């Protein structure tokens, strides 16, 4: 007995799923419990593009300083969220798992931001 | 309710019942705790970012090189998720191929790390050189160890796909190893941003 | 309990004797192993304390050298926190968590065994230091830079590696218990019908799993500083010893709630039983426990008020610490409300639970004075602190756990502990404890510092120190009475035999035999309410008084059963997990690995051997079926 009902249409096993499905499924959590392989490739492509942008940021003089910091953190967070939500399937899973993870993530960030603040290192 | 409830009460003892909720619950809470683990190391690094003494600091980083190895690790998450997908479709051969692919990408990442470290050591950035060096090697070293363990798990599972020994509630569950692998990847996303790219 | 047919319990013919205990995966046996181990370590930790107290009986005594003293007080603290109170809590949680939620075992029985063996072997590793050149001597908190010095001596490496291994055991156990509570509750056992003890075990599991990683990193960094030239805590080289304090206390503070919450859970079970009243304000007690756990992550720097963090940080942590007193106070009032107007039996378990409340309140009050930054600045590193934490940890936690032993002893053994001996134990313990630690408040405020092996004449400290030492010896006598009671009752079989439900209890453990069968419940119970068992036994009349329900044939009470996967009442095939030696093997491998790390560089051989053994254990474990066919 699985907690998520996984519907597997053999027709979508391979990479020849339609473009519209690929576009729809990434945003539509009601219909699909799993992204299809085609959608996984699409997600990977997006991640690669974001990485390329990130790598370019330190070389753009106009962004030096605070703007680059915020941009890099934002882009990193986007990649982080995509992998967690989609590759790790958290978006489609029980809220309990997401809550466990968030407690650790948010707790860690909060505690260590406080530590760094007491050192005046932040 | 009764059947579901009985499922709940059997847990791991029932071979023919689903152990996935138990294991997934444990894995996600463990991943939550790993956030604190890596968070502590990342903040130690941030604290010592400028404590470089006479040794090299962030200028030693080769961003293009590290970007390439980061990209490779990122793509290994794709191969991992394709392996899981193949496993769900009971295609052991495909599963094995993608698992090996993931392990190879992970190993390539590790090779890149080792190469990078030997370069840095030649240039004078060692663990005892400065707090920066200590923090850098601790963080990336632990991450690398996690990758290495992941590669071993992937290889073990790939072997188990032979002769059909990898079935759903058998020890090394593909999905669980996938979760671990993706986590190692997202930790690297944070490390890459905070250690290599950020200029504070 | 009436069942229409005997259930078939299918398990491999388990090994008998010692090998049976070594390969057990039964949560009840594992609980007993934890309990006995904790008891032995308690005795050893107590002896360490007695030696310390003897040295401090009078000024300028030479009973112990400074070096011996440092080792003894360090080991006393380490032992009591990590090898006594945590394992006692683990003992109770192991034994009762599955039963209280109507399950047959924990989520991962072999992982459960692994946690126990890792704890035991790690404790033995740390204690082996006594014969290997000296024990850890840098206080149980191991502050840098004291702990990073003297690297040619491996004492603090025993501490570093030992604590690291113990942490792994606890993390594994926590993941286990969390998975158990969230996936294995019996039908109808909603979260808010779980007994308070089960809730506290859950909160503790969260506290551990999210706090241990911080000290794990701190310890790894300490190890690198000591052995590989790391500069994490080296001030002269640009590092900062204060980083250690943060990483340690981010764990260390939640840790103290780990120590106390299970005891509070036990008290929440004992008081209703012997007041014959339900727990007053159950949801408040549960949510307060969760709140204490949550806020507990936000107060760690109150251990660092004198470290120069600056007024903003100090004020923030001071306020947070005061806030934590609120949910604690809520629990106290709820316990009082539970007893108030009840039909009270002052037997030994009840006495210890009531004393818990009183002693914990005293300790809590001194804790509140610590929350006030200026007063803490005077109290820090004095005996006032020693008084505070012994009141909450001994008068609080230990008394609570002892109450649990008296309460649940009949369930474990089928025999109830002797009441007369119990009361003697209680009064000796209460008096001895207060004689020992009460005066320390005064000593602390009069300036006596902690962790110093002797004090001079003429400072006015001698008399209270003598009183404290006498009290400590009284505690020893109390403990011996306790041990005698246990030996006499169970091992000499002189204790009075009892059945399932000697106390007319409220929760599920009293529905099964004493001691329980390996599979706990013949049929999985279906739960309809909080304190479901009580409601099976009693209805209420118009005035709300309990009216005993008519007993069923044979004098037994039927607990509503879930139907089996098939015919109602026919035998259920209950597959219990088979014993396994992989947990003990894996934990042994880890400890060998750890020992090798202590003795680098030639310890690399042991590191290799330990790694190989661990890998063998883990691979065997993951490939072995959970229930072996035969």
Residues within 8 A of A (CB atoms), C 267-326 only: 297, 301, 309-310, 313
Average pLDDT over every residue of C139-147:
95
C451 has a pLDDT exceeding 50 = yes
Residue C191 CB contacts under 8 Å (≥ 6 apart), including other chains: C185
Q: CB distance from B19 to chain A under 8 Å? A: no
> Tell me: the pLDDT tens digits for B49-87?
999 999 999 999 999 999 999 999 999 999 999 999 999
Average pLDDT over every residue of B158-174:
74
From C210, C243, C246, residue closest to A104, measured CB to CB: C210
- Torsion sign, CA atoms C510, C516, C520, C521: negative
Contact indicator for B107, B181 with CB cutoff of 8 Å: no
DSSP per-residue letters across B44-89: HHHHTTT--TTS--GGG--HHHHHHHHHHHHHHHHHHHHHHHHHHT
Q: Do B5 and C186 touch (CB under 8 A)?
A: yes
Residue C335 CB contacts under 8 Å (≥ 6 apart), including other chains: C267, C268, C271, C280, C357
Q: Do B46 and A116 touch (CB under 8 A)?
A: yes
Dihedral in degrees, nearest 10, Cα atoms B114, B118, B124, B129: 40
* CA separation for the pair C181, C191 (Å, rounded): 8
What ipTM does this complex have? 0.92
Q: Which residues of C touch A96 (CB under 8 A)?
A: 182
Residue of chain A nearest C295, judged by CA positions:
A107
Q: Do C206 and A107 touch (CB under 8 A)?
A: no
Q: Do B131 and C105 touch (CB under 8 A)?
A: no
> Tell me: the pLDDT tens digits for C579-599?
999 999 999 999 999 999 999
Q: CB distance from C217 to chain B under 8 Å? A: yes
> Tell me: the pLDDT tens digits for B137-154?
999 999 999 999 999 999
Q: Do A101 and B32 touch (CB under 8 A)?
A: yes
> Tell me: the pLDDT tens digits for B87-123?
988 888 999 999 999 999 999 999 999 999 999 999 9
* CA separation for the pair A67, A78 (Å, rounded): 16
C6 has a pLDDT exceeding 90 = no
pLDDT of residue C88: 98
> Pick from C39, C44, C126: which is nearest to C91 by CA?
C39
Residue of chain C nearest A101, judged by CA positions:
C210
Q: Are strands C8-10 and C546-548 parallel, antiparallel or unpaired?
A: unpaired
Residues within 8 A of B (CB atoms), C 576-595 only: 576-577
pLDDT category at B7 given cuts 50, 70, 90 is very low
Q: Do A93 and B31 touch (CB under 8 A)?
A: no
* CA separation for the pair B151, B74 (Å, rounded): 14
A30 has a pLDDT exceeding 50 = no
Helical residues (DSSP H) of C419-461, grouped into ranges: 419-445
C565 has a pLDDT exceeding 90 = no
pLDDT of residue C311: 94
What is the value of pTM for the model shown?
0.91
Q: Do B32 and A103 touch (CB under 8 A)?
A: yes
Q: Is the peptide bond before C145 cis (omega within 30 degrees of 0)?
A: yes
**φ/ψ bin of C150: left (φ > 0), alpha (ψ from -120 to 50), beta (otherwise):** left
pLDDT of residue A3: 38
C522 has a pLDDT exceeding 50 = yes
Residue of chain A nearest C317, judged by CA positions:
A114
From C206, C246, C310, residue closest to A115, measured CB to CB: C246
C161 has a pLDDT exceeding 80 = yes
Beta-ladder partners of C539: C547
Residue of chain B nearest A37, judged by CA positions:
B82
Mean pLDDT for chain C?
92
pLDDT category at B2 given cuts 50, 70, 90 is very low
DSSP per-residue letters across C169-211: HHHHHHHHHHHHHHH-PPTT--GGGS-HHHHHHHHHHHHHHHH
Q: Do B36 and C239 touch (CB under 8 A)?
A: no
Among A52-66, B161-175, C361-375, C491-505, name the one with the lowest average pLDDT: B161-175
From C171, C231, C238, residue closest to B128, measured CB to CB: C231
pLDDT of residue C629: 59
Among A24-33, C175-184, C294-303, name the one with the lowest average pLDDT: A24-33
Q: Do A115 and C309 touch (CB under 8 A)?
A: no
Q: Which residues of C touch B138 (CB under 8 A)?
A: 220-221, 224, 230, 232
Q: Do C232 and B131 touch (CB under 8 A)?
A: yes
> Tell me: the pLDDT tens digits for C332-371?
999 999 999 999 999 999 999 999 999 999 999 999 999 9
Q: To the nearest whole angstrom, how far is the Cα of A105 from the nearest Cα of chain C?
A: 10
Q: To the nearest whole angstrom, how far is the Cα of C231 from the nearest Cα of chain A?
A: 17
B8 has a pLDDT exceeding 50 = no
* CA separation for the pair B119, B143 (Å, rounded): 18
Beta-ladder partners of C548: C538
Q: Which residues of C touch A100 (CB under 8 A)?
A: 178
Q: Do C565 and B12 touch (CB under 8 A)?
A: no
C137 has a pLDDT exceeding 50 = yes
Q: CB distance from B135 to chain C under 8 Å? A: yes
For chain C, what is the total number of helices (H) and then of strands (E)? 19, 6
* CA separation for the pair C55, C65 (Å, rounded): 9
C273 has a pLDDT exceeding 70 = yes
Q: Do C246 and A117 touch (CB under 8 A)?
A: no
CA atoms within 13 A on the CB side of A38: 15
> Tell me: the pLDDT tens digits for B31-45?
999 999 999 999 999
Q: Which residues of C touch A104 (CB under 8 A)?
A: 210
As given in the structure block, the two tokens for residue C440 are 């320390």
Q: Do B189 and A79 touch (CB under 8 A)?
A: yes
* CA separation for the pair C155, C75 (Å, rounded): 11
Q: To the nearest whole angstrom, how far is the Cα of C426 from the nearest Cα of chain A?
A: 41
Q: To the nearest whole angstrom, how far is the Cα of C437 from the nearest Cα of chain A?
A: 34
pLDDT of residue C627: 74
As given in the structure block, the two tokens for residue C220 are 């790894």
Start-to-end C-alpha separation, chain C: 31
Angle at C45 between CA C39 and CA C47, to 5 degrees: 105
Q: CB distance from B2 to chain C under 8 Å? A: yes
SS3 per residue for C248-278: HHHHHHHHHHHHHHHHHHHHHHHHHHHHCCC
Rank A6-15, C226-235, C568-577 by mean pLDDT and report only the highest. Answer: C226-235
Q: Do B36 and C213 touch (CB under 8 A)?
A: yes
Q: Do B44 and C221 touch (CB under 8 A)?
A: yes
For chain B, what is the total number of helices (H) and then of strands (E)? 6, 0
> Pick from C231, C260, C383, C249: which is nearest to C313 by CA?
C249
Among B103-112, C384-393, C616-625, name the one with the lowest average pLDDT: C616-625
Residue of chain A nearest C210, judged by CA positions:
A104
| Chosen from B26, B29, B43 to mutate, greatest number of chain A CBs within 10 A | B43
* CA separation for the pair C503, C259 (Å, rounded): 26
Q: CB distance from B8 to chain A under 8 Å? A: no
> Tell me: the pLDDT tens digits for C59-115?
999 999 999 999 999 999 999 999 999 999 999 999 999 999 999 999 999 999 999
Q: Is the peptide bond before C601 cis (omega within 30 degrees of 0)?
A: yes
Q: CB distance from B17 to chain C under 8 Å? A: no
From C182, C210, C246, residue closest to A107, measured CB to CB: C210
Average pLDDT over every residue of C554-582:
56
pLDDT of residue C551: 59
Q: CB distance from C168 to chain B under 8 Å? A: no
């Amino acid at each position: 007995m699985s907690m998520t009902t996984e519907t597997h249409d053999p027709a979508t096993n391979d990479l020849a799923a339609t473009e519209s499905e690929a576009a729809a499924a990434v945003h539509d959590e009601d219909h699909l419990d799993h992204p299809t392989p085609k959608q996984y490739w699409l997600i990977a492509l997006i991640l690669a593009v974001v990485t390329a942008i990130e790598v370019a940021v330190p070389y753009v003089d106009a962004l030096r300083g605070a703007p680059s910091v915020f941009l890099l953190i934002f882009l990193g967070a986007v990649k982080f969220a995509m992998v967690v939500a989609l590759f790790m399937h958290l978006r489609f899973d029980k809220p309990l798992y997401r809550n466990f993870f968030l407690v650790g993530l948010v707790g860690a960030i909060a505690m260590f931001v406080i530590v760094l603040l007491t050192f005046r290192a932040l | 309710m009764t059947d579901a409830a009985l499922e709940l009460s059997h847990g791991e003892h029932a071979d023919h019942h689903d152990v996935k909720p138990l294991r997934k619950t444990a894995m996600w809470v463990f991943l939550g705790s790993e956030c604190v683990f890596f968070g502590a190391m990342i903040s130690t690094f941030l604290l010592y970012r400028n404590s470089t003494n006479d040794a090299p600091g962030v200028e030693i980083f080769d961003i293009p090189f590290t970007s390439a190895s980061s990209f490779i690790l990122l793509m290994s998450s794709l191969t991992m998720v394709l392996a899981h997908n193949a496993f769900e479709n009971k295609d052991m051969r495909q599963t094995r191929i993608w698992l090996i692919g993931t392990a190879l990408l992970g190993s390539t990442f590790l090779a890149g790390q080792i190469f990078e470290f030997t370069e840095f050591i030649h240039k004078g950035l060692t663990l005892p050189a400065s707090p920066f060096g200590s923090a850098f090697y601790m963080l990336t070293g632990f991450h690398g160890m996690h990758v290495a363990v992941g590669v071993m798990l992937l290889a073990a599972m790939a072997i188990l796909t032979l002769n059909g020994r990898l079935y759903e509630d058998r020890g090394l569950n593909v999905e669980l190893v996938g979760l671990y692998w993706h986590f190692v990847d997202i930790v690297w996303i944070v490390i890459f941003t905070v250690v290599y790219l950020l200029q504070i | 309990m009436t069942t229409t047919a005997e259930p078939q319990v299918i398990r491999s013919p388990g090994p008998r004797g010692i090998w049976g205990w070594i390969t057990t995966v039964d949560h009840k046996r594992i609980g007993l192993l934890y309990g006995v181990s904790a008891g032995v370590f308690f005795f050893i930790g107590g002896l360490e304390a007695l030696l310390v107290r003897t040295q401090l009986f009078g000024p300028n005594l030479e009973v112990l050298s400074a070096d011996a003293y440092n080792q003894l007080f360090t080991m006393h603290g380490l032992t009591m926190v990590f090898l006594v109170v945590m394992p006692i809590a683990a003992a109770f949680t192991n034994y009762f968590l599955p039963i209280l939620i109507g399950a047959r075992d924990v989520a991962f029985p072999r992982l459960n065994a692994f946690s126990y063996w890792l704890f035991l072997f790690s404790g033995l590793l740390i204690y082996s230091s006594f014969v290997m050149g000296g024990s850890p001597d840098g206080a149980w908190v191991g502050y840098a830079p004291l702990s990073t010095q003297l690297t040619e001596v491996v004492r603090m490496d025993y501490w570093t590696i030992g604590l690291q291994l113990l942490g792994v055991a606890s993390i594994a156990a926590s993941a286990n218990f969390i998975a158990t509570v969230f996936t294995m509750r019996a039908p109808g056992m909603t979260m808010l019908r779980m007994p308070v003890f089960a809730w506290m075990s859950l909160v503790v599991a969260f506290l551990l799993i999210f706090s241990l990683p911080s000290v794990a990193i701190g310890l790894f960094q300490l190890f690198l500083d000591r052995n590989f030239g790391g500069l994490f805590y080296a001030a002269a080289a640009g590092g900062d010893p204060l980083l250690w304090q943060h990483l340690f206390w981010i764990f260390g503070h939640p840790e103290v709630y780990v120590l106390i919450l299970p005891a509070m859970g036990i008290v929440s079970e004992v008081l209703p039983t012997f007041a014959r009243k339900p727990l007053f304000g159950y949801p408040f007690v549960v949510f307060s426990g969760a709140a204490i756990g949550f806020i507990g992550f936000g107060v760690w720097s109150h251990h660092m008020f004198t470290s120069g963090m600056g007024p903003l940080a100090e004020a923030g942590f001071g306020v947070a610490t005061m806030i934590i007193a609120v949910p604690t106070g809520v629990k106290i009032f709820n316990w009082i409300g539970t007893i108030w107007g009840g039909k009270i039996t002052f037997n030994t378990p009840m006495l210890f639970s009531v004393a818990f409340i009183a002693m914990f309140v005293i300790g809590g009050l001194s804790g509140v004075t610590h929350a006030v930054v200026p007063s803490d600045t005077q109290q820090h590193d004095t005996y006032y602190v020693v008084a505070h934490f012994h009141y909450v940890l001994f008068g609080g936690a230990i008394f609570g756990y002892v109450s649990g032993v008296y309460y649940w002893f009949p369930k474990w053994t089928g025999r109830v502990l002797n009441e007369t001996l119990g009361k003697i134990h209680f009064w000796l313990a209460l008096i001895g404890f207060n004689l020992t630690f009460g005066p320390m408040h005064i000593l602390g405020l009069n300036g006596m510092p902690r962790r110093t092996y002797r004090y001079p004449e003429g400072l006015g400290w001698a008399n209270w120190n003598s009183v404290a030492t006498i009290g400590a010896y009284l505690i020893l006598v109390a403990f011996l009475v306790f041990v005698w009671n246990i030996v006499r009752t169970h091992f000499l079989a002189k204790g009075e035999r009892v059945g399932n439900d000697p106390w007319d209890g409220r929760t599920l453990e009293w529905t099964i035999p004493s001691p329980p069968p390996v599979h706990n419940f013949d049929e999985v119970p279906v739960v309809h309410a909080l304190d479901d068992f009580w409601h099976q036994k009693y209805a209420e009349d118009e005035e709300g008084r309990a009216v005993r329900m008519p007993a069923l044939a044979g004098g037994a009470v039927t607990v509503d059963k879930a139907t089996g996967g098939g015919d109602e009442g026919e035998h259920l095939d209950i597959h219990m997990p088979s014993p396994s030696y992989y947990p003990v093997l894996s934990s042994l491998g880890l400890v060998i690995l750890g020992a090798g790390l202590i003795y680098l560089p030639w310890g690399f051989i042991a590191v290799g051997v330990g790694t190989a053994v661990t890998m063998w254990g883990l691979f065997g474990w993951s490939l072995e079926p959970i229930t072996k066919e035969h």
